Amino acid sequence: MSYLNTLIFGIYPYIALAVLFIGSWVRYDHGQFTWKAGSSQMLRKKNMALASGLFHAGILVIFFGHFVGLLTPHWVYEPFITPGQKQVMAIVVGGVAGVACLIGALMLLVRRLTDPRVRASSSFADNMIILLLTLQVALGLLTIFPTLGHLDGGTMLKFSAWAQGILTFQGGSAAHIADVHWLYKLHIFLGLTIFVVFPFTRLVHMFSAPLEYLTRRYQVVRKRA
């Protein structure tokens, strides 16, 4: 089990990050025409704004919450907030954002799988990534239950030590989370897997800021007579 823990949480993260950045770079270099969000809103607008709004608002809060929470060293926030208080804040904010994101993701998933026009224009990667994201958000919400059993922040410090250890190439980082609940481990594994498939899906549009929209001319679109 120690070997498996090291393989998944000590070696796999580097494989996932390498595929994420190298794969995205190669796709941008050789397939810029495919570098797009691929919105299907024009095919069916019903509930699209609500579903997309909930999903994107929720996932942005979750992403930056994980980014700041995991990668900020303990000594930076120690004078202002305890690990336990930080964990409670993560439960509340992450829980609200997670529920919003999950509702939006489920609406988008049902829309993509049941609407004939949207389904016909969807690729395997389109269906796969929305399914993976929905499962990942659901898993994240499920981790709240074991977290409620230890509100001292100790487990959160383990995850921070693991993430910071991986990014600073510290050996033995996987040992930090060797004894955490299996739900956390499944959540991390699926998150790393999303990194692996990232360059081959529409998620690459996250790397692009649509700044040209601020300066380009208006496009006139007319309905057919």
pLDDT digits (tens, 9 = 90+) for 115-145: 888 778 778 888 899 999 999 999 999 999 9
Statement: residue 109 has pLDDT above 70: yes
Residue 133's contacts (CB-CB under 8 Å, 6 or more residues apart) are 59, 105, 194
> What are the φ/ψ torsions at residue 181 (nearest 5 degrees)?
-60, 145
Contacts 24+ apart (CB under 8 A), 58-61: 58/97, 58/98, 58/99, 58/100, 58/101, 58/102, 58/104, 58/137, 59/97, 59/101, 59/133, 59/137, 61/93, 61/94, 61/97, 61/101
Which whole number is the average pLDDT over 162-173?
94
Please count the residues of the chain. 225
Q: Which whole-number Å values give the CA distances from 123 to 153, 179, 203, in the listed order?
A: 42, 39, 13
Question: Each residue of 201-213: pLDDT tens digit?
Answer: 988 888 876 656 5
Residue 45's contacts (CB-CB under 8 Å, 6 or more residues apart) are none
Residue 89, CA atoms < 13 Å, CB-side half-sphere? 11
Residue 189's contacts (CB-CB under 8 Å, 6 or more residues apart) are 8, 12
* DSSP 8-class letter at 200: G
Question: Each residue of 3-53: pLDDT tens digit?
Answer: 899 999 999 999 999 999 999 999 888 877 777 666 655 555 667 789 889
Statement: residue 214 has pLDDT above 90: no
Which whole number is the average pLDDT over 49-69?
93
* Whole-number pLDDT of residue 161: 95
Which whole number is the average pLDDT over 61-79?
92
* Whole-number pLDDT of residue 119: 79
Statement: residue 98 has pLDDT above 60: yes
pLDDT tier at 200 (50, 70, 90 boundaries)? very high
Kindly state the percentage of the chain with pLDDT values over 70.
87
Q: pTM of the prediction?
A: 0.86
